[in-house]
Structure 1
Amino acid sequence: MTATTTPVRPLTGLLGHLRGERRAIAATIALVVVSQVCLGAISVLLAAAVGHAVVLHSAPPGWFWALLAGLVVLRAVLTWGEMDASHALAFRVLARLRMALFDRYAVALPTRRRENVGRAASTAMSDTERLEFFYAHTVAQLVAAAVNALLGVVVLAVVEPVLALVTLTGLALVLSTVPLGRRRLEALGGEVVEATGALSDRVVDVLGGLREVLGYGIHGPVRRQIRETGAAAARAAGRLETTHRVLAGAREAAVTLVGVGVLVGVIGRDVAAEQVAALVVLALATVAPVADAAATCARLPALRAAAARVGEELARPAALTRDTPVAALPEGPLGLTMGEVGFGYDDRRVLDGFDLSIAPGEHVGLRGASGAGKSTVVALASRLWDPDTGTIALSDSDSGQVAISAVDDADLRAALATVEQDGALFSGTVREAVAAPSTTDAEIEDLLARLGLAGTVTPGSHIGEGGLRLSGGQRARLRLARAVLHRPRILILDEPTADLDEASARLVTDLLGTVPATMLVVSHRHQTLAAMDRVVDIVPSEPSADPANPRRARNDAGHAARKG
């Protein structure tokens, strides 16, 4: 979807995500319309007062000044209300668009390609900021200009039809500048959005890997790439701004012609001299807001490009599908069963006919060479992805089963916890990073002590962004603590002791032995696997010698289980 093929739809297509703000948008539009009309009336009345004083050498009557003062006060109140309402609306629009993106990312990321999320982050941060001004301010401006123009032409038609015709001609000239250079504006607007988006993508990417950038001494090439990307964005923005200035000159010329046309129009007409100034100002007050609206319309291509990016992100396909009807989780301990599971990344097959059965309360280890599919099993068992083929189910002690895809996501996440090897910790204190809502500091301190972190980490310790103030081993143990404190019924661990020394690994292994949850532990470490009830070996998927039964031949060779 691009701005050149869909001139309006990207902007209107997002309105469905702003349903809750429709009344606020309508109220803001009403405030801006009344405020704009009020401003025009004040301008005309002031011009009339000047004409009256210059021509008749006398001041207007008292009622005139009372009316003018009332309009000035009303305009001040409306301006205050408009600013307050539009700014509040802008923040709510921004929040709704970002929450809509977050909700979509929650079901669409991570994709099986494990793509870089720099574009997603820049869209959520940069493009939504462009759009919140449009929905909170620009729409109201466009409507107000249209209403003001209609009222102005009607008044002029009643007072002096010829001047109304002159004003309509001026409005036509102003509006004729909107399609001028439209294709160029759309192309440049899209180029600016893409260039600034690429710059944001790159910066987000670099900040995420800043330690590697510095550690490998590649900050020079990175700086050069960012500088070149920024220069490209600046060049595109410069060409766009030049085009806007040329069109602005055309609009100003059209407004000037209206003023001249009105003056010419009153010559020879039966128009009182003291009314000339008011009529000229009325015509200009009718056309000028439309000129501003035309300038706004000239900037819509960039907004449409931003809306298209947001729309594309909101249209990301869900990584998971939900079975219906929704099934309830069994009570008590849960088991996990994977039957004939197949899964691949693009054209690379990782699992083909994989079988795994874990009884409720059982602790099972999973080992295999790099690339064999261990992390894929973790992702599938955690339901970050759905398998291409086969089934994954949760079971109870009576062998009753429910498909994992039929369980409500909130219920599933309350019952199942996963600790990935490279999982994230959020910035804040240890308490904020690991505690469940009902967790006490005493429970946190006890768990930290059992993991060998007492004395170095406390519930109030600040861990920094992503846990940067901690060592790799401390982060690994805090990720485990977070999962344990949420008391899951199934706990899935990917290399929980890989970053630990022998003593720390022993503490983790001892802790796992006391956790009542059903457990699947991926590890290369003999000490960790030895503590499991049994161990399952997994080998990389490869072509089978038995074309009639490729899955079973591989399963018999590579997925044998034994006691740990």
Structure 2
Amino acid sequence: MTATAAPRRPLTALFGHLGGERRAISGTIVLVVVSQVCLGTISVLLAAAVGHAVVLGEAPPGWFWLLLAGLVAFRALLTWGEMDASHALAFRVLARLRMALFDRYAVALPTRRRENVGRAASTAMADTERLEFFYAHTVAQLLAAAVNTLLGLVLLTFVEPTLALVTLVALVLVLSTVPLGRHRLEALGQEVIEATGALSDRVVDVLGGLREVLGYGLHEPVRRQIRETGADAARSAARLETTQRVLAGAREAAVTLAGVGVLVSVLARDVAAEHVAALVVLALATVAPVADAAATCARLPALRASAARVGDELARPAVLTRDTPPAVLPDGPLGLVMSDVGFGYGERRVLDGFDLTIAPGEHVGLRGPPGAGKSTVVALASRLWDPDTGTIDLTGPETAPVAISGVEDAVLRVALTTVEQDGALFSGTVREAIAGPTTTDAEIASLLDRLGLADAVAPESHIGEGGLRLSGGQRARLRLARAVLHRPRILILDEPTADLDEDSARRVTDLLDTIPATMLVVSHRPQTLAGMDRVVDMGVDDSVETGVEIGPQEAPGKPSEPRRARNHAGHAARER
């Protein structure tokens, strides 16, 4: 999947991500248009009734009041339907924009720069909320204004052509206020969105690093930075608001002149007195939607800036490619083969010609000094990134290799699970945080007991935001439990015992020994690696890493080959 450059017309470009809502958007537009026309008709009829009563001294006939009551009731139904439809559409628009962003982040956000995700988070939350109103409400209102104005001009042309011409001049006068201050509005709108975005980015960063803020006493620097960023955002917003108020004054002056012109034109014509009020209201009802639209246009620059931010995120280059058509994973145990893999961060090469073969059901350890590229191997084997060169394949006992890039992501994530050393736990209960699709409480309780967590938590225990109520070692074991309960066919573990004491580490290695999945375990602890079938040592050769197998690692009384056979049998049984 490749990304395209951010478009020049960001608001229009984002319609492409709302394809499933086009019918709903069209329906909302129809409701708003009919509602606005109905409102204008009611206003003209009321003005006609008033003129008739004042000039002729008699009330309109009964059918008139029945017609007016029917229009009022119809307008009420339209308003209710419009509000219901537009609010429902707004939530769906918000969901679609966020899903489009999250889909893009899935292939583009785990970049090699390990960038901060504060901007991505604030764009997905704040900017999309600004845009939902535009697509669900503003578009319909602008089109309704255009239709209402056109109908008013046509009707005036048939009824009083001179008044239609005067009204057209008034419309041009009101529309002439739209370009006023356009460039300043564009600049200030961009400035406001960038300033508020920077504030949101900073707040997201602080919340993500709250423990560090508390642990290192960074309260005052953080407060100062947020205060200064907030002040910048407030100043930008104030300048934009001042500009919009000045332009609003110009629009109001234009509307006033238009109204005076319409009134003078009507009075100057030989028009029956009882029709004057209706004609004036009709002319003003033709001009008023354009005045509202002009006010809306003054607020579009800020929305365009938000749309540009969303468009920039959607234009992120992919770090993963998708092969087509998708490949089918073989049944039974899966193996992993990395052949002649090369990978680097910019100019620095980390892997060059790296080879690693893990047979189906085999447990392989990986060790090496800091900076040797172990975490890079984990990321590539987990398919968070694609290698620069070489191939990564999944293999079955008796089937041809399948390129990992050819497997659909949803299928791959069921078959392959990775437990990172600094992985996240979501807020909620233990059950919500670690349970798989078919996990029972009995299975959770049994696994918690095996990992030495039964005295600390139960399935219904709340763990807090990111597991805040747990120790580092408890969080690490819960992350492992989550992976085990999802029953993957390949399990990749990055330092699963790094944060554990000896007893907890022993419990983890005992559990790993019984898991039938194919396993790649990165660790620096001999106790953890002792349970592996073999260990691959990552050595350093001119800053380029290669995989060097150093032979089987046998746990006391457990030769590696018999256990490998047991892993095959156990996995095959579970697959059946």
Same fold (TM over 0.5): yes
2:107 partner amino acid:
V
Q: Would you say the 8 A contact 1:425–1:479 is kept in 2? A: yes
Q: Would you say the 8 A contact 1:334–1:518 is kept in 2? A: yes
2:55 partner amino acid:
V
Secondary structure of the 1:114 match is: coil
Q: Would you say the 8 A contact 2:203–2:226 is kept in 1? A: yes
Moved more, 153-162 or 126-135: 153-162
Secondary structure of the 1:500 match is: coil
1:166 maps to: 166
Q: By how many angstroms is 1:257 displaced?
A: 1.3
Q: Distance in 2 between matches of 1:312 and 1:540?
A: 39
Q: Distance in 2 between matches of 1:449 and 1:276?
A: 87
Q: By how many angstroms is 1:540 displaced?
A: 4.1
2:562 maps to: none
2:332 maps to: 332
1:547 maps to: none
Structure 1 pair 325/19, CA: closer, same or farther in 2 (3 Å)? closer
Q: Would you say the 8 A contact 2:7–2:13 is kept in 1? A: no
2:220 maps to: 220
1:533 maps to: 533
Q: Distance in 2 between matches of 1:6 and 1:298?
A: 21
Q: By how many angstroms is 1:109 displaced?
A: 2.1
Q: By how many angstroms is 1:244 displaced?
A: 0.9
2:551 maps to: 562
2:70 partner amino acid:
G
Q: By how many angstroms is 1:561 displaced?
A: 2.1
Q: By how many angstroms is 1:562 displaced?
A: 2.4
Q: Distance in 2 between matches of 1:518 and 1:6?
A: 45
Secondary structure of the 2:443 match is: helix
2:123 maps to: 123
- Once the two structures are superposed, what CA deviation does each residue of 1:141-196 show, in whole Å capped at 9, x if it has no partner? 00111111111111211221111111101100111111111111111111111111
1:54 partner amino acid:
V
Q: Would you say the 8 A contact 2:173–2:258 is kept in 1? A: no
Secondary structure of the 1:126 match is: helix
Q: Would you say the 8 A contact 2:365–2:535 is kept in 1? A: yes
Q: Distance in 2 between matches of 1:117 and 1:247?
A: 37
Q: Distance in 2 between matches of 1:218 and 1:175?
A: 52
1:209 partner amino acid:
G
1:253 partner amino acid:
A
- Once the two structures are superposed, what CA deviation does each residue of 1:274-324 show, in whole Å capped at 9, x if it has no partner? 211221111111111110001111111111111111111112222111233
- Once the two structures are superposed, what CA deviation does each residue of 1:13-56 show, in whole Å capped at 9, x if it has no partner? 11111111111111111111111111111111222222222222
Q: Would you say the 8 A contact 1:258–1:283 is kept in 2? A: no
TM-score (norm. length: structure 2): 0.93
1:142 maps to: 142
Q: Would you say the 8 A contact 2:51–2:273 is kept in 1? A: yes
Secondary structure of the 1:397 match is: coil
Q: By how many angstroms is 1:399 displaced?
A: 7.0
2:370 maps to: 370
Q: Distance in 2 between matches of 1:469 and 1:11?
A: 43
Q: Distance in 2 between matches of 1:72 and 1:540?
A: 82
1:511 maps to: 511
Unaligned runs of 5+ in 1: 544-550
Query: Which segments of structure 1 move beyond 6 Å, counting only runs of 4 or more?
Result: none
- Once the two structures are superposed, what CA deviation does each residue of 1:503-547 show, in whole Å capped at 9, x if it has no partner? 00000010001111111111111111111111111134625xxxx
Q: Would you say the 8 A contact 1:382–1:417 is kept in 2? A: yes
2:108 maps to: 108
Q: Distance in 1 between matches of 2:123 and 2:160?
A: 52
Structure 1 pair 262/411, CA: closer, same or farther in 2 (3 Å)? closer
Q: Distance in 2 between matches of 1:402 and 1:29?
A: 49
Q: Would you say the 8 A contact 1:431–1:444 is kept in 2? A: yes
Q: Distance in 1 between matches of 2:407 and 2:278?
A: 71
Q: Distance in 1 between matches of 2:235 and 2:387?
A: 46
Secondary structure of the 1:513 match is: helix
Q: Distance in 2 between matches of 1:445 and 1:475?
A: 16
Trace 1:403-552 onto structure 2 (pairs within 5 A): 403-540=403-540, 542=542
Q: By how many angstroms is 1:330 displaced?
A: 2.2
Trace 1:22-171 onto structure 2 (pairs within 5 A): 22-171=22-171
Using the aligned pairs only, state the percent identity.
Answer: 82
Moved more, 130-139 or 459-468: 459-468
Structure 1 pair 32/541, CA: closer, same or farther in 2 (3 Å)? farther
**Are residue 262 (structure 1) and residue 251 (structure 2) matched?**
no
Q: Would you say the 8 A contact 1:351–1:541 is kept in 2? A: no
Q: By how many angstroms is 1:476 displaced?
A: 0.5
Q: Distance in 2 between matches of 1:453 and 1:268?
A: 91
